[in-house]
Amino acid sequence: MHDTEQSPPPPASRAVDASGTHRDGARAWALVVPVKATRSAKTRVVTQPEGLIDNASLATAFAYDTVESALASTRVRTVYVVTDDEQIAGGMRELGAAVVTERSALPVESPGFSRLNEAIRMGELAARAAGATHVAALTADLPALKPADLSAVLDAAARHARCYLADSTGIGTSLLAAGPGADLDPRFGYDSAAAHAADGAVAIDVPATSVRTDVDTIDELADASTLGLGPRTAALFVAYQERVAHESAS
């Protein structure tokens, strides 16, 4: 059993309508958001010249902005952040998220993203133990996430036992969802959209661009900025642009 680092929410009611909302008006969905420790996060972000942005700070900003927006969705009851980073855990609690301490014997960069999928399963167990009937795993690199977009995706997801939303490339997965009687059975990693489809998850197609816009590179961050970045990411991106301008002028 994996303990949450704050008191778990009260058990969720089983009276849920087709939109994923409790009939008494309460929020129905529990979201699981795995967050890497800052020491191993976003190593793929490369700037030219190199060193104009700190990868660890950027990844942390992504995660905070993603979780803050998720908590603002009218369909989300609880966000379970799974991490082994104590500093991130403290910040997520301040936002109002529940924290599940990641305990794994697997290396951080395990083959096939097995540690990531294990972390998602830990979060799902915590959510189900607290009575959640609708659970979704959401990636932590959605710095332009809009609460209304997430609500629309969750409304669509509530119509299926198990489903997924592909990222903007159609290759990865931004969100994986499971309702009553189904498990997430996450298969995040390379070509995860195809892996989830092959395992029986239904693809949902919702015009919710901000949920599909995950960021791994500085160019993708620039694209995401056109949607409007969360406040922490926006501050870092503005500082980065100023450094680029300074370097160009030198």
pLDDT digits (tens, 9 = 90+) for 141-175: 999 999 999 999 999 999 999 999 999 999 999 99
Residue that has been written with the tokens 């629309």 in this structure: 152
β-bridge pairing 134-138 and 162-166:
unpaired
pLDDT score recorded for residue 235 = 97
> 178 forms bridges with which residues in the sheet?
135, 162
Domains of the chain, with CATH numbers? Answer: 29-249 (3.90.550.10)
List Cα–Cα distances, 15 to 19, 27, 65, 151, in angstroms. 12, 11, 31, 18
pTM (2 decimals)? 0.86
pLDDT score recorded for residue 2 = 43
106 residue type, one letter: L
pLDDT score recorded for residue 14 = 37
Helix (H, G, I), strand (E, B), or coil: what is residue 23? coil
